[in-house]
Every structure is written in structure tokens, then in C-alpha cells.
Amino acid sequence: MKAGVVVFPGSNCDHDAYHVLKHVVEQDVTFLWHQDEDLQGCDLVVIPGGFSYGDYLRAGAVASLSPVMSAVKRHAEAGGLVLGICNGFQILLEAGLLPGAMRRNQNLRFQCRDVFLRVERNDLPFTRHFEVGQILRMPIAHAEGNYEDSHEKLDRLEAARQVVFRYVAPDGSPAVSGDLGAQWNPNGSARAIAGICNEGGNVLGMMPHPERCSEEILGNTDGLGLFQSLVESGVGVLQ
Amino acid sequence: MVQEPEVSPEIARTLGVTAEEYERLQKILGRDPNWTELGITSALWSEHCSYKSSKVYLREFPTEGPHVLQGPGENAGVVDVGHDWVAVFKMESHNHPSYIEPYQGSMTGVGGILRDIFTMGARPIACMDSLRFGEIDAPRMRFLIDGVVRGVGDYGNCVGIPTVGGETGFHRCYNGNILVNAFALGVAKRDQIFNARASGMGNPVLYVGSRTGRDGIHGATMASESFDSESEQKRPTVQVGDPFTEKVLLEACLEAMRTGAIVAIQDMGAAGLTSSTFEMAGRGGTGMRLDLDNVPLRQAGLTPYEMMLSESQERMVLVAQKGREEELVRVFQRWGLEVAHIGEVTDTGRAVLEWRGSTVADMPILPLTEEAPVYRRPLAPPSDLEQRQRAPEVVQPEDLRGSLERMLATPELASKEWIWTQYDWSVRTNTMQGPGGDAAVLLLKGTPIGLAMTSDVNPVYCYLDPRRGGMQAVAESVRNLACVGAEPVGLTDCLNFGNPERPEISWQFREAILGMSEACRALGVPVISGNVSFYNETEDRSIYPTPTVGMVGVVPVISGGANLPTSAFANRGDRVVLLGRDRSEHGGAAYLRLLHGIEQGRPPEVDLDAELRLAKLLRHLIQQGHLRTAHDLSEGGFLISLAEACMGRRMGVTVEVPMVGADLYSETQARAIVACSPAELDRVLEAAEEMGVPAAEIGETGGEDLVVKSGGEALRAPVAGLHEIWSTALPRALGL
């Protein structure tokens, strides 16, 4: 598999994604510059976390209009794999590759801590290595991760099984909103949504950072399965 | 054009230049200065830039060591950490701006320290912040706390440098003057280090980054004055931060450095273009000609005076190799940054500034930088020193559990999680141990080693006995590093004091430095960089002397991370051992201060030999993989450290100790709590005996409660309840 990590001015998890792909799951990886429309034959495009263009205006808004994103859209439409992490998820929403929008975290503060996720489906190239219902511990680090959409659209999202990761309590019980639930739903996301995919299942956006928990030496390997799944999916075009 | 004031000794005084300094300037120039020249001199000779009241004492610091590649004097210090890598680090204060405008003040504090690191050619890998606030109920304090925390977070988070720890204290002495000390660590390959020495006649001087505006004019001068009730009016002297530009500037500079076309580089920090150009030429023994018409401006109409003194952020000056400018311009433009050619290096030894066809300043550089005034201010101990140091009456706690709960509920000892969850501490995927422990540990990818960092000082100890307080700050930092198995390689500092023109303050300053120096020598830690912040006073009330220590250490072998202990109890049935000798020492201790309002006595003795033995033992035990938990004893003594070790992962413990009552809170130094598996216990005790450290097995982890027996059962408290008190106290006190 060949992977490309997009670099926008202000991306700051680009090296982290590159590191895991290159040195942990040992794939061919390259950086993709935001002004280039050539994806260099990558099977997987990773849009990393960070503060593209400082998140000025609105998180992901400016980056979604850059030349590389036109190429990423074509790649996605052709069934190519796209993974957006944190700011990358925000950019995918702004670019219209995924439905919905982000609001600021409910407590209006940046939050960096471990959260717990339930895997909602494992029939995607991103989640093959997980079990349905498996609980993962993963770090988050964001100020705008409060996913929102209209009731009808959220219902449709659920019906189409597009919710891939959901915030839960450590024992897997639901992270409902309100004082108690808010502890486990760290940003107030609608239906505790942490990650969603498109209808085709080849574009995934998620707020937690799997690349920060894929190495034993960092004390947590719960994110590794996502990268291993991608490697196993081999070439990226979904059959 | 704005009419510039007529230059006179009186007008010089309003810029902080004394009558003698004005005469000195006249002598150096051989004539009267013009307005621009006077402005430049006021900045260069400000306390903040010239260290004129601190220089004579700073010479006491040991600054050399086998691993030191660059000591104080550059943008940051450099230490060899082996495997072809160097660590570059520095700490700097941003106290005055943060008190006036906390969000922008703390943002630009972080921005400035990051530039100091990447200016040296190093990639910043972690930050820490040492924050001192006043009482939470003091006027403006909630606003200040919220603003500072948001500012630190928004800047570091956006640039993508993890904030991996720090310290936060609360004391009424900071009600009118908070402290924001930012500490940054970077790494580079040994041969990639850059310096800021302008050389090569005819080499072009380039300006990169944000445009110059009117923000921050005279910031350095402001930082060299005390506060009064008018200080909030000084908001225009506070700079405005733009972390996005910083991030782009960081990447572009590191890339530009790799072209080999950069001769010297320096950021525009305090006193902006003035200090960067004068310092670069001064260090290189060269001169500089600047064409101010080419300085990129945010708005039209800035005068030379304003351009030279603006402290607009995210700007760099660099000297390029003549003929290779274009290579650099291409890199910067690729990152969307503006580059301007603003002058040349000359061999005249003078700074010549030209603007609109005339020379607006012509000054010799070395006399202004090297022969800046140096003061040996009068010294005298505070008149009430004897009273301060009188041994306190030790009030015994009537209800031990109640006293513990009340201690844990104070902002001073409460969990700081509410603060550090607002900082991204895991970006860059190097953070093995983040905030909340004794020291942070970062992987150095591609090597078997880790780098540890910590910051410490106890201002109350320093108030009661600045020499001992200075020693203690160094000793505790070494102990914190030892608790993660790290050997210290260097120290940076932020020396926050009041007005040095008062004999009591200068005395405190000298005493603290003597204490720190003695500890540095005994513990083998060189001082490689630092910063002095004087005039931390509001309406004649000075802060307590606060010589913040930042220390970096090397963890020699990180084998899969498995041998690193944490500061919390991690396994049931682990044996708990108390290292060090217990004594009854309550001078300046948290227990008397927080629960009984008694703040007196001499702070605990600092036995540097004992500290050295303890640190060696801890490093040895950790390297051998014998320990699962290591946590040093500091503020609040044994009982607070024990409770912290329990609350970290909500694990109970039962211990039996000879200490009773208030002595459970004694702050005797050179002690640590460690825990190991039962199989390792003998080895731990044997090693302690061999290395001359008193050690006693005091109990075992497990259960739901923290239980202390001394004779009979003295204390039993459910850990869950303690955790609830400790973890919610800070947001509760802030009214959130």
C-alpha cells in the first residue's frame, strides 16, 4: 500500500501519521503538499490533525478549498481510501466529503485526554482488525469536536450505519449528555459520535488520534488496529 | 510625520534612562543622541535586555560541564545528550504583559520561547509552564487564570508542541503581579546548531515573518518597571500573538537552515529589531547597515523609532550568504512568508540606519552592548528576617483525615488536571509521561534514550531564606528527574524578583543565586541559559523571591518503556519503601501555611550529599527495572505524597510509620516513596544500604483505603473520596 499524508500550512500531526505508517506498519509513505493536485498514486490519503491555516475563520474551512482537496475529492469518488483525523475530519466535513458540521466543544475549552470509543462496525477497510462492540482507549486533542447535524440527517446517518466510532464510558455503557455523561462524551457530540464514514465506506473522519496510540513505548496500542486494517485492505480501491 | 520630542536628559528619564546613563551615552556617541538613538539605547540598556543589576551575581553560576556545548549568552543553551543529538532549552518570563493582558501575554510568552529554540536550529519538542497566581478571590484573578491558561494552550496547541507539564502555585504575594514562566526544549543533530553571530562583509540581512506594527513598543522597558494602578493603561505595550504564523515560520526556518545559505539567525524578541540586529553584530564583532524603508510594515507611517522598538511577534532576522539569498527566499515564499532585504553586514562596528534618504541613527555597537551599565546595587537583608525565621509553633491536627482532606482541597495542592487537559500534551507522539507526575519523559525517536524535564521552586521557602530556597529548588528538580530515572544534564532558570533598587530585593537575589550555585556544583548540574525578571511589584508590594528552575535530564535506556516507574501506585500487593531520613521540619511548610496561616521559620535543611545519594539510588533502581512507583516528597511532606501516589490510579495502601501527627506533613528533603514487587524488595533495600540511603519498608498497596498506622491506626480514608476532593477542588474554587 502507498499512503500519502497531506501537509497544509499549520498541519501538526503530519509527522506523527507519517511515522506510524512508515515505521510502525512499515508502508510506503509520502507527504503531499497542499498546493499539489497530484496524489502520486497513493492508495490511502491521510489528512492529519493540526491547525491548518490556524483554523482561522472556522476549523478546516480554508484548507477545504486548497488544490490538494480537489484531488482528494476525485480520489474519494473513485473509491480511494481517505482518512481524516481531528483537523482532517473537520476538513472533510468542510469539503463536503462527509456530512454534518463541528461546533466548539460544549465546555468551550480545548480538551486533551484519553476517551473511550466503541467500534460500531468492522466491515470497513479501516476497522477490520477490531471487533464490533470493542472498546478502545484513545487520546483526543481538540477544541471543536462537537459533531452536529439535523435530527433527520442523524437518523439517516445511523440507518446507513455510517457511525463508526462512538464515545462510551470505560465499561462500554452509553455516554449520554448531561453532567454524568459529559465526562465520557468529551465535547457534547450529537449521539456521542466520534467518527463517521461516507456511504461508500471509503472515507473515514474521526476526532480521536489513533496515531498517538499505536506504539507499546507510548503505553497504548489501541489505535494500531486501524492502521493494520488499512494495510490488510491492501490497495485502496474498494471492490 | 509625527513630531518627535526634543531629546534631553529629562525626556531620557521618561524612557528609563538615568542621568548617568544619559551622560554615558553622550560619551559613547561623542554628541547628543537623537530621538531614535535614545529609544534604541533605552531598550538595549533596559534591565530586561542588559541584565545590568543581575550580571555581577549571575557570574556565580557554574556554566560549564563536559556536555555543555553552549552556555548562557545565546538564544538558548545547548547540551550534548549523546547518540549525535543535542538538547537545546531555555526558560523565559512573560510576567508583566500577562498581568496586563493575560491571554496575549501568555501566548506571546510561549511564542517567544519557542523562537529562541528554533533560532538555534533545533526543533522544539516540548514545553512546560511555571505559573504563579494570587489568591483566587483576589480582584481580576479568575480572569487572569482563565486568560493565561487559554493563552498557553491556544499557542502551543496550534503550533503543535506538546505542553507536558509545569507547575501552578497560588499565593497572595502574586495578587498584584502574576508570574508566567515558559520553558521550551528542542532537539537537533549535533552539527545542525546555528548561532546568532553576524559575519561576512556585504552579506545581506533578511527580515522574515510578520509585518511590523505598533504593538509592543517599549515592552522591554515596561518589563523593567514596577506596576502601579495605571498599569492596565499599558495594554498597547503588550504584543499580539499569531501561532499560525509561528508554526509556518518554524517549519520554514528549519527548512531554510538545511540549505546551508544562512550565516546567522535570530528572532526579534524583546526590543525587536533593535536587540536582534545589535546583538547579532555585537557577537560577530561586525557592523550593520539597515535600510528601514524596506522593513515590511503593517500600517504606513511608522517612524524609525517605532520600527526599531516594535515588538510585533513572529519575526526573524537572518544573515544570508551573499549570492544565495534567492534559495532562502524560495523556501520562505513556499511557506507563504514575506521576506525583505533590509540591510548588509559591514566591518565598521557601527549600526547605521537609513530612512527616506537620510541617516537616522549612527551608533557604535560594542560600546552599547558590551559596555552597557553594570550595577552592584546595595544589599541588605530584610529588617524582619529574624522574625520570619523564628521557629513556628507546630499546631497538631486534631483530626488527621479532616486535615488531609482540607489540604487536598486547597488550590495549591489540588490536582491541576483542569489546567493541563486544556493543553495538547501528546502531539508529536514522544510523550511517555505527560503532566501530573514528578517529571515528564519524552522519547528521542531514533535513539534508545529519553529526555526528562521538570520545573520547580518553592517561593515561601525563598521568602523565609532565599539561599536555602534556591538550593532546594535545584535539589528538588534533581530529585524529580531521578524519580523517572533521569540524570540531569543542564539547568535553565527564570529569576523572578522585585525591584532590585531596594537593598532587600538585591540581597534576596544574591542569596538565591548563591544557594542555587552551591546546589548546582554539588549535584553536578551546569546552568546553560536563563532569564531575569525584576520589578515584579505592584504599588511597592514585591512578590516573594521566585527563582524558577527548569531542568532537563537524560534517561539512558528506555527498553520498551517497561522499566519506567510512574508517580502513582500501579499494582496491588506492591511493597512500599520510604527512602530518606524523617525529621520534624515545619518552617514554611504547606500544612502550617494552608491550614493555620503560619508562614514562618527556616525552611527545611537541604543536605546536598543526601540528595546526591538519593538521586543515584533512584536512577540505579529504575535502570535495573526494580521499581514500579517512585514519587518524591515535597510540599505537604509524606502524607500528601502518599495520597498523591494513591489518587493517581485510585489504589489503596496500608503503611506503618514512626511519624505521628503534624510530622506526617514535615517537609524534610531528600526523601521519596517507592514501590516494587515483593520479589524485588530485598534488592531495593540492599541497594539503598550499599548506597547510603536510609530505607524502610513501610507497607503494601491494595484495598480501597489509604491507611496510616503509627502504633495504632492513625488514619483511614477511602481513596475514591480523596480523589473526588482533590480532582474537583480547582474548578470548584474557580467557580466552574
pLDDT tens digits, B288-299: 999 999 999 998
CB-based contacts of B610: which residues, under 8 Å, 6+ apart?
Answer: B580, B581, B669, B670, B693
pLDDT tens digits, B437-461: 999 999 999 999 999 999 999 999 9
pLDDT at A238: 42
- The phi, psi pair for B445, rounded to 5°, reads -55, 140
Residue B511, pLDDT above cutoff 70: yes
Pure H helices in B335-446: 365-369, 385-389, 400-408, 417-420
Q: Is B158 on the interface with A (CB under 8 A)?
A: yes
Q: Is B69 on the interface with A (CB under 8 A)?
A: no
From B242, B420, B429, residue closest to A218, measured CB to CB: B429
Sheet with strand B77-82: strands edge to edge: B68-70, B77-82, B85-93, B179-189, B123-133, B163-170
- The phi, psi pair for A139, rounded to 5°, reads -80, 145
Task: Map out the domains of chain A with their CATH numbers.
Answer: 2-238 (3.40.50.880)
pLDDT tens digits, B592-638: 999 999 999 999 999 999 999 999 999 999 999 999 999 999 999 99
Whole-number percent of chain B with pLDDT over 90: 91
Cell reading at A158? 445511523
pLDDT at A237: 42
Q: CB-hemisphere CA count at 13 Å for B526?
A: 18
Q: Is A110 on the interface with B (CB under 8 A)?
A: yes
Instruction: Please state the rounded mean pLDDT for residues B319-348.
Output: 97
Instruction: Please state the rounded mean pLDDT for residues A18-27.
Output: 97
Q: Quote ipTM for the complex.
A: 0.95
B560–chain A nearest CA distance, Å: 5
Residue B231, pLDDT above cutoff 50: yes
Q: Positive or negative CA dihedral for B701, B703, B705, B711?
A: negative
Q: Positive or negative CA dihedral for B373, B374, B375, B381?
A: positive
pLDDT at B236: 63
From B243, B427, B445, residue closest to A141, measured CB to CB: B427
Please identify which residue in the block is written with the cell numbers 551573499: B322
Residue B29, pLDDT above cutoff 90: yes
- Report which residue type is found at B24: R
Residue B51, pLDDT above cutoff 70: yes
Cell reading at B570? 500501579
- The phi, psi pair for A236, rounded to 5°, reads -85, -20
Alpha carbon distance B124, B557 (integer Å)? 22
- The phi, psi pair for B515, rounded to 5°, reads -65, -45
pLDDT at A175: 85
If one counts every other C-beta atom within 10 angstroms of the C-beta of residue B439, the result is: 28
pLDDT tens digits, B147-167: 999 999 999 999 999 999 999
Closest CA relative to residue B239, chosen from B127, B141, B107: B107
Residue A195: which H helix or E strand, with range? strand A193-197
Q: Point out the catalytic residue in the list A86, A142, A144, A213.
A: A86
The three-state DSSP-derived secondary structure of B217-280 is: CCHHHHCCCCECCCHHHHHHHCCCCCHHHHHHHHHHHHHHHCCCCEEEEEECCCCHHHHHHHHH
Residue B537: which H helix or E strand, with range? strand B537-538
Selected for mutation to probe chain B from A35, A110, A138, A213 (highest B CB count within 10 Å) is: A110
Alpha carbon distance B502, B248 (integer Å)? 44
Residue B67, pLDDT above cutoff 70: yes
pLDDT at A239: 37
A184–chain B nearest CA distance, Å: 14
- The phi, psi pair for B75, rounded to 5°, reads -65, -30
Paired sense of beta strands A203-206 and A193-197, if any: antiparallel
Alpha carbon distance B625, B559 (integer Å)? 10
A112–chain B nearest CA distance, Å: 5
Paired sense of beta strands B350-355 and B358-364, if any: antiparallel
pLDDT at B561: 65
Pure H helices in B526-657: 590-596, 608-623, 637-648
Q: How confident is the model at residue A182 (pLDDT cuts 50, 70, 90)?
A: low
Residue B138 buriedness (CB in 10 A; 0-12 / 13-18 / 19+): middle
Please identify which residue in the block is written with the cell numbers 435530527: A151
Instruction: Please state the rounded mean pLDDT for residues B343-353.
Output: 97
Q: Positive or negative CA dihedral for B500, B506, B511, B514?
A: positive
Rg of chain A taking only CA atoms, in angstroms? 16
CB-CB contact of B7 with B33 (8 Å): yes
Q: How confident is the model at residue A236 (pLDDT cuts 50, 70, 90)?
A: very low
CB-CB contact of B494 with B166 (8 Å): no
Instruction: Please state the rounded mean pLDDT for residues B365-378.
Output: 92
Closest Cα in chain B to A216: B560
Contact A113 B558 (CB under 8 A): no
pLDDT tens digits, B174-191: 999 999 999 999 999 999
Q: Is B336 on the interface with A (CB under 8 A)?
A: yes
pLDDT at B233: 61
A209 part of the active site: yes
Alpha carbon distance B669, B458 (integer Å)? 12
Q: Is B8 on the interface with A (CB under 8 A)?
A: no
pLDDT at B130: 98
**pTM of the predicted structure, to 2 decimals:** 0.96
- The phi, psi pair for B352, rounded to 5°, reads -120, 120
Q: What is the largest CA-CA distance in chain B?
A: 88
Instruction: Note which residues in 164-203 of chain A have CB less than 8 A from chain B.
Output: none
Closest Cα in chain A to B337: A9
B48 part of the active site: yes
From B244, B336, B561, residue closest to A56, measured CB to CB: B244
Residue A234's region, left for phi above 0, alpha for psi from -120 to 50, else beta, is left
| SS3 at position A72 | helix
Selected for mutation to probe chain A from B103, B107, B149, B424 (highest A CB count within 10 Å) is: B424
DSSP conformation letters of A14-48? HHHHHHIIIIIS--EEEEEETT----TT-SEEEE-
pLDDT at B220: 65
Contact A216 B157 (CB under 8 A): no
Closest CA relative to residue B129, chosen from B543, B416, B490, B467: B416
Angle at B424 between CA B418 and CA B429, to 5 degrees: 135
Contact A54 B336 (CB under 8 A): no
Residue B287 buriedness (CB in 10 A; 0-12 / 13-18 / 19+): buried
pLDDT tens digits, B714-725: 999 999 999 999
Contact A218 B242 (CB under 8 A): no
From B426, B428, B558, residue closest to A112, measured CB to CB: B426
DSSP conformation letters of B281-303? HHHHT-EEEEEGGGS-BSSTT--
**Rounded mean pLDDT of chain A?**
94
Cell reading at B643? 495520597
Alpha carbon distance A2, A7 (integer Å)? 16
Contact B429 A113 (CB under 8 A): no
Cell reading at B405? 482532606
Alpha carbon distance B90, B76 (integer Å)? 5
CB-CB contact of B38 with B12 (8 Å): yes
Contact A110 B431 (CB under 8 A): no
Closest CA relative to residue B555, chosen from B447, B672, B452: B452
Cell reading at A199? 456511504
CB-based contacts of B139: which residues, under 8 Å, 6+ apart?
Answer: B175
Closest CA relative to residue B488, chosen from B556, B437, B552: B552
From A20, A212, A217, residue closest to B426, measured CB to CB: A212
Cell reading at B128? 512546560
Residue A178, pLDDT above cutoff 70: no
Q: Is A215 on the interface with B (CB under 8 A)?
A: yes
CB-CB contact of A50 with A13 (8 Å): yes
Residue A76, pLDDT above cutoff 50: yes
| Contacts with A13 from chain B: Cβ below 8 Å | 160, 427
A107–chain B nearest CA distance, Å: 10
CB-based contacts of B428: which residues, under 8 Å, 6+ apart?
Answer: A15, A16, B125, B126, B160, B161, B162
Please identify which residue in the block is written with the cell numbers 547628543: B32
Q: Is A113 on the interface with B (CB under 8 A)?
A: yes
DSSP β-bridge partners for residue A203: A82
Give the number of A-B residue pairs with CB atoms closer than 8 Å: 86
pLDDT at B2: 57
Residue B569, pLDDT above cutoff 50: yes
| SS3 at position A160 | coil
A211 part of the active site: yes
Alpha carbon distance A88, B70 (integer Å)? 40
Q: Residues B140-161, buried b or exposed e (16+ Cβ, 10 A)?
A: ebbebbebbbbbbbbbbbbbbb
Query: Helix, strand, coil shares of chain A as percentages rounded to 5?
Result: 30, 25, 45
